[in-house]
Amino acid sequence: MSFLRIKTLLVAGFSLIAVLSVTNSFANENANEGVKEAAKKQEGSFNVTETILEHIKDDHSWHLWGDKSIHLPVILKTSKGFEVFSSEKLVDEHHEPVVYKGNFDYKLIEGKTKIVDASGNVDKEASKQLWDLSITKNVASLFVSVFILLVVLLSSAAAYKKTGVKTAPKGLQSFMEPIILFVRDEVAVPNIGAKKAGKYMPFLLTIFFLILTNNFLGLIPFFPGGANVSGNIAFTMTLAVCVFIVVNLSANKSYWEHIFWMPGMHWSMKLFLAPIELIGVFTKPISLMIRLFANITAGHILVLSLICLIFIFKTVFASAIAVPFAVFIGMIELLVAFLQAFIFTMLAAMYIGMATEEHHHEGHAEAAHH
């Protein structure tokens, strides 16, 4: 059996396990909340929107199985100083929000910690001075991904120091080396240039592996996966801001000249193009931010929507249709997880290359004249 066939079977098996695990997670949550929902809704009702949003949004706890969860720390900065407590104090045994009495009365409202008054309404004045520094599910998952990257990358680096670069790679080295060479030869060198690529390789590799690791963890429906880090706009915005800073700090004189005073143009066109080019400086990182966020979130919603069909129709026929489609989309999501990391890194390298490229206007002008 060829390597490609083995790889295909592994991908299919992983996708099937992921889908069945998500299905089982849905079933457990529905069973645990059956008594509570029966008191509020008619039997057989199923809120698709609420269920999907519950699984893709951030949370103050990390669900394990059944009614077991890891309650993460809530860290608040108020006018009375810092206050730290477990998120378990903000919910009851049915995971419904309750008021916790600390320095203030705190309550989870739409997933965010707010200060409330005696009647349970948000105290807007006190909440203005509230800074929520809590370790949420996405933050904890980000720590997990960073830990994984540190172990893998530092182990590979230590092996290279011990054996040297001329020795055939083993273990983690054999897994990491092709990916690193791929980023160098297919992303950095073609877009930045062989002479300058080495300077930006640590930054590009950090972006690539951070996005890739969090994308893969997001596809695993059980601990330590299941968090939608790459589908969080704050995460993608932070990466985009880092790219924006690196690009503009690396930019040379020629780059800024092409933005504010385009060479080879009449002065009237230069005045017209300058604001458009300046807007482009900001729209490039914004496009990076939205592209990664939208693609990852859309993929999760699609898979969850297919699984929800099972609980909507509650028939074997619906399961027979939904599960294969969900497995198929899950396999595509594995490709998208890698593809989005590649595209983000590729565009970052392209923007860096555009900012550091040397332009020779005089030579072009003479060639055009002859």
Classify the C-alpha dihedral 83-87-93-94 as positive or negative.
Answer: positive
Count CB atoms within 10 A of the CB of residue 285: 23
CA atoms of 321 and 309, how far apart (whole Å): 9
Q: What is the pLDDT of residue 118?
A: 81
Q: What is the pLDDT of residue 165?
A: 66
Q: What is the pLDDT of residue 155?
A: 87
Paired residues of 84 in beta bridges: 75
CA atoms of 85 and 197, how far apart (whole Å): 46
| Both structure tokens of 187 | 């992303």
Rounded to whole angstroms, what are the CA distances from 322 to 2, 166, 287, 356? 30, 50, 33, 49
Q: What's the whole-model pTM score?
A: 0.78
Q: What is the pLDDT of residue 360?
A: 58
Q: What is the pLDDT of residue 37?
A: 42
Q: pLDDT 10s digit of each residue in the chain, 370 long?
A: 443 444 444 444 544 444 444 444 444 444 444 434 433 444 446 677 777 777 788 888 887 877 778 889 999 998 888 999 998 888 887 778 888 888 888 888 888 888 888 887 888 888 888 898 999 999 999 999 999 999 998 888 888 788 776 677 777 778 888 899 999 999 999 999 889 999 999 999 999 999 999 999 988 877 888 888 988 999 999 999 999 999 999 888 888 888 888 787 778 888 888 888 889 889 999 999 999 999 888 888 888 888 887 777 777 777 788 778 778 877 888 888 899 999 999 999 999 999 888 765 544 444 444 4
Q: What is the pLDDT of residue 245?
A: 95
CA atoms of 266 and 317, how far apart (whole Å): 68
SS3 string, the chain, reads CCHHHHHHHHHHHHHHHHHHHHHHHHHHHHHHCHHHHHHHCCCCCCCHHHHHHHHHCCCCEEEEECCEEEECEEEEEECCEEEEEEHHHHECCCCCECCEECCCEEEEECCEEEEECCCCCECHHHHHCCEECCCCHHHHHHHHHHHHHHHHHHHHHHHHHHHCCCCCCCCHHHHHHHHHHHHHHHHHHHHHCHHHHHHHHHHHHHHHHHHHHHHHHHHCCCCCCCCCCCCCHHHHHHHHHHHHHHHHHHCCHHHHHHHHCCCCCCHHHHHHHHHHHHHHHHHHHHHHHHHHHHHHHHHHHHHHHHHHHHHHHCCHHHHHHHHHHHHHHHHHHHHHHHHHHHHHHHHHHHHHHHHHCCCCHHHHHHHHHC
CA atoms of 64 and 154, how far apart (whole Å): 29
Q: What is the pLDDT of residue 174?
A: 81
